[in-house]
Amino acid sequence: MTDLKNKILAAVGEDLKVIEQALAENLNPHFNLVSQVARHILFAGGKRLRPLLMVLGARLCGYSGDHTARFSTIFEYLHAATLLHDDLIDGADMRRGRQVANQLWDNSTAVLTGDFLLARGLSIAADTGLCEVIQTIARITENMSQGEIRQLEKKGDLTLSEDDYLEVIRCKTAVLFEGACRTGALVADAKPAAVQALTDYGYHLGLAFQMADDLLDYTQDIASLGKHAGADLRERKLTLPLIHALSRAPKADRQCMIAIFEKRDFSETEFASLVEMLNRHGGIAYTEARAMAHVQQAKTALSPFADSPTREILMDIADYARVRKT
């Protein structure tokens, strides 16, 4: 995993530097407080994967202009906005190893800064002059809102099905990956087949990424994850490892898992017991397999493109989405 990560970083290092610079230059808040809160979430160590996907997607389709870094900031601003809103809704206390913004400032300031970042993303989308890009970003914001509402509606619902879960992560995560890749192709004025291929790549990559993230909630500690292990469980969110294990466990273990799930103040011992049952009843292995299937579908989606360094990077990113540890 470390070798793959280092390989990717070596290949995209210059792109990441330009993206980082563009994020700072194009933030342009009119109020110092907005700038402080936005920078707290934007520059807390995010991977910049979403804007990077837009830049690589455009390059794969032959774009040679100098605007991709600026346009790519759309996707980091949208992502940061959702994090500000999600942390408040979920009652989280840690994000990327730092205290959440609404605890450092207040709820109203965090929400309004998130709104500003959404608006900033839409403004930059308009600057592309492409109706299809504007439509893509509008659909992303609509879907992300619907995903959050659906997740809130289903919070603590032990009847949540795998299909329900997939719809939530499609709206909350996959559409942003999908939109970043699609926008790269649109900016490059790619042919419809190429636009669809990159759209499909981003969709499956996003699903794999979120499934891997849900696994990390049960397998990583705060030092590597940037938030407390079991955070989803404490927020009463059912994710695929638990959904699948509950569907396979005998009555006694099922009741035990439910009892732990319904305790917001479960102990480390209880959490370890739950993880052991997730492993025993196939929740971890099943989620790993489903994530890997989407990684393979993402890589297959790139088959219309000729071999190139950019295509190789995108293939490596798909592999990394599954094996990452942070």
Q: Which range marks the domain in which residue 300 is found?
A: 2-323
> Taking residues 237-259, what's their average pLDDT?
94
- Looking at residue 228, its pLDDT comes to 60
Residues 60/305, Cβ–Cβ less than 8 Å: yes
Q: Is the pLDDT of residue 1 over 70?
A: no
pTM of the predicted model as reported, rounded to 2 decimal places: 0.89
Specify the range with the lowest mean pLDDT, choosing from 11-15, 185-189, 222-226.
Answer: 222-226
pLDDT in tens, 261-273: 988 788 889 999 9
Tell me, what CATH number does 244's domain have?
A: 1.10.600.10
Beta-bridge partner residues of 94: 99
The region, left, alpha or beta by phi > 0 then psi within -120 to 50, assigned to residue 106 is: beta
| Of 231, 260, 234, the residue nearest 245 (C-alpha) | 260
Residues 159/243, Cβ–Cβ less than 8 Å: no
Spatial distance between the Cα atoms of 159 and 88, rounded to a whole number of angstroms: 25
Q: Indicate the number of domains in the chain.
A: 1
pLDDT in tens, 254-313: 999 999 998 878 888 999 999 999 999 999 999 999 999 999 999 999 999 999 999 999
Q: In which band, very low, low, confident or very high, does the pLDDT at 229 lie, cut at 50, 70 and 90?
A: low
